[in-house]
Structure 1
Amino acid sequence: MPGSFIRAAAEDARPLFDVYTFATPNSVKVPIALEELGLSYTLHGVNVRKGEQKTPEFLALNPNGKVPVLLDRTVENGPFVLTESAAILVYLAEKTGQRLPAGGDARARVFEQLFFHASGLSPAFGQSGFFQRFAAEPQPIAIERFSSEAKRTLGVLDGVLANRPFVAGEVFTIADIAHFGWLWRRAFAGVSFEDAPNVARWYGTIEARPAVQRGIARVEALVPQD
């Protein structure tokens, strides 16, 4: 049960989780969640800029070759290995009974935003950044397509936040953590808050949270200083 897990976690001085990650929009969500939930963890840097996510050792953890990856060492006969940032957020929230309503409309709103992020905002931001920065040859139609979609999904989120303080309602949830990751790296996608004042207000509130700041600092420390 969540309550018993939290008590056991508080009594165990050892890190409960291992996180394989880097300073990427999806990766940062997991340390932020762990900090918000007060759970101990160890970070293992996977330098995606050097292709370390494609090594045999990492692919044994995640055959999809992407960060983040969570290892839960509290599970009997574990560790339990989980990939996909949204799935990890849900897992941690359900394990602790925090940052995810137990049921009803409030829970449905959180999942609505998680799915909107995973199927809409996140891929649009990622593809926008890729075609603007890394395409071997200019791809005007792709740049226009994904740049426009990134700005459109940001506008959708701005409309949502015009009517509520957090993305799923009145309280801070894992849905806020999910959206925050890509908005933290919005410059990669060529997106700004100029036409999204409600998102700007919300972002400032999330960014000011001490647990969020700790999570960001820990993943940024993984980046080699050349």
Structure 2
Amino acid sequence: MTDTAAPDSSAYTPPKVWTWTKENGGRFASINRPTAGATHEKELPVGRHPMQLYSKATPNGVKVTVMLEELLAAGHKGAEYDAWLIRIDGDQFGSGFVAVNPNSKIPALVDRSGPEPIRVFESGSILVHLAEKFGAFLPARGAARAECFSWLFWQMGAAPYLGGGFGHFYVYAPTRIEYAIDRFAMEVKRQLDVLDRRLADNEYLAGAEYTIADIAVWPWYGALAKGLLYGASGEFLSVHEYKNVRRWTDAIARRPAVKRGRMVNRTSGDPASQLHERHDASDFDTKTQDKTSEPAKT
């Protein structure tokens, strides 16, 4: 899918020392920068529930809201949470958010259930924290526990190839670079094949049991298999070929907690599926974007 209007990337010779310009970031140039830390003072709000989540409904954000909704559905009342929307247009560089996640990425969680607040950042770490805290969605021992952790960390290592690699060059880069798209498309299809082979003989990634491994992988590769990521990428990658991934994807998508979790902190798509912030279970019935007078934002 060569774009004949794109400059010849083979003509680029890296300088001896790289320097940053605001044009380096493509669509996200206004918020990308090569340094960390806060850019402005802004405290985070705090609600009344034990868990305070600061996030947005990207695949990494969806992992945590699905997990919290699954815990509540399983009867763990201590998992009640406030989900505050962090718009990725600079909110992530506020002083309060940086104090919770020095990496300035969503999601970030503050567990206020104990005598001292505990900050937890990185989506995989949040899933493990919640699973161990409530003794749920994580096998207690043996081979299933090892499989669960293996697939969880597989996702944490693999998703950058899908998001920052394929997704960036296929959708967000300012120019279409054939080599980059081909390189990452090949890797994403290999990853889909890895999943498809695993799911050929197993209902879920850790075996017979639904775990945090599935909760972590599904918002990325399940969404891809359903054609929900990166425009026409599903057709481009022939996701219909991965029948076992699609079977697994559909089974998880039918879970009520997953349906709710996908809605939280969502600001695009069907207004009936957008719940910008979640502070009570009843918000799903009364405060989705189609039920509020607040204008939709993207």
TM bucket, shorter chain: 0.7 to 0.9
**Aligned-partner residue type, residue 21 of structure 1:** S
The one-letter code of the counterpart of 2:85 is G
Runs of 4+ in structure 1 deviating by more than 6 angstroms, as ranges, are: none
Q: Of the candidates 54, 61, 78, which is equivalent to residue 27 of structure 1?
A: 61
Structure 1 residue aligned with 2:246? 200
Deviations 1:49-95 (A, max 9, x none): x2322233322221111000011001222x10000111110110000
Q: How does 1:183-222 map to 2 (within 5 A)?
A: 183-186=221-224, 187-188=229-230, 190-191=233-234, 193-220=239-266, 221-222=275-276
Letter in 1 for 2:204: F
2:100 to 39, 47, 61: 61
Q: Which has the higher contact order (CA 8 A, sep 6+)?
A: 1
Task: Tell me the distance in 2 between the aligned counterparts of 1:111 and 1:170.
Answer: 15
Match of 1:143 in 2: 181
Residue 123 of structure 1 corresponds to 160
Contact in 2 for aligned 1:25/1:184 (Cα 8 Å): no
What TM-score comes out, normalization by structure 1 length? 0.88
Instruction: Indicate yes or no: 2:143 matched with 1:105.
Output: yes
The offset of 1:24, in angstroms, is 0.1
Larger radius of gyration: 2
Alpha-carbon distance in structure 2 between the residues aligned to 1:109 and 1:68: 24
Distance 1:136 1:181 in 2: 26
| Structure 2 unaligned spans of 5+ | 1-47, 73-78, 267-274, 277-288, 290-294
How far apart in 1 are the matches of 2:95 and 2:176?
A: 33
Instruction: Give the Cα–Cα distance (whole angstroms) in 1 for the partners of residues 265 and 183 of structure 2.
Output: 31
Q: How far apart, in 1, do the equivalents of 2:126 and 2:97 lie? A: 17
- What is the match of residue 46 of structure 1? 86
The normalised TM-score by structure 2 is: 0.67
1:15 aligns with 49
Cα displacement string for residues 69-128 of structure 1 (whole angstroms, at most 9, x for unaligned residues): 011001222x100001111101100001111011111100001101111112x1121021
Say whether residues 1:75 and 2:75 are aligned partners.
no
The structure that is helix-richer by fraction is 1
Counterpart Cα distance in 2 of 1:199 and 1:62: 32
Supply the distance in 2 between the matched residues of 1:87 and 1:45 (Cα, whole angstroms). Answer: 20
Paired position in structure 2 for 1:36: 70
2:189, 2:250 → 1: CA distance? 19
Measured in 2, the distance between the counterparts of 1:181 and 1:55 equals 26
Deviation at 1:184, TM superposition (A): 4.6
| Cα distance per residue 1:131-159 (max 9 Å; x no partner) | 11121222222111112111110111011
Determine the C-alpha separation between the residues in 1 that align with 2:58 and 2:90. 14
Instruction: Note the residue ranges of structure 1 that are not aligned, 5 or more in a row.
Output: 1-13
CA RMSD for the aligned pairs? 1.6
Give the secondary structure class of the aligned counterpart of 2:106: coil
